[in-house]
Amino acid sequence: MHLEPERHRSPSISLTPLIDVVFILLVFFMLASRFGDWKDLPVNVLPAEESADRQDRDWLTLTVEADGRVAIGEHRYAVDELADHLDSGRTVLITGEPDAPLQAALATLDAVRAAGVKDVQLELMP
């Protein structure tokens, strides 16, 4: 009986699964990303003498709380109720509690501007 020795084939690596995985990742990241407009917040740094002048003004302080509500003195309001309680001639300072969400502070800023207040300052850090 004559047996032929086994022929060893050299191993080959197929790149097809790798290309499939890369394509799936590409499609995932294209669908998961947002191609919207990014809005920047203007940040103005005041000189020391101008900042001292601003401290003398009669501020109306709005405090954004952890639950997203806004406190004006002892009263608490939802963001959409602010327009009824603001005077457009006042200078408004928006501050926040340490655990208040940034989105709530920005929504408050938008609501104050929509109410017609021109002089608004957002203070996020003490």
Query: Which residues partner with 62 through β-bridges?
Result: 94
The domains of the chain, with CATH numbers, are 50-122 (3.30.420.270)
Whole-angstrom distance, CA of residue 69 vs CA of residue 81: 10
Write out pLDDT tens, residues 14-73: 888 999 999 999 999 988 887 776 776 666 665 555 555 555 567 888 899 989 899 988
Whole-angstrom distance, CA of residue 92 vs CA of residue 96: 13
Write out pLDDT tens, residues 85-115: 887 778 888 888 888 888 998 899 899 888 8
- Distance from first CA to last CA of the chain, Å, rounded? 93
Whole-angstrom distance, CA of residue 15 vs CA of residue 37: 38
Whole-angstrom distance, CA of residue 74 vs CA of residue 58: 18
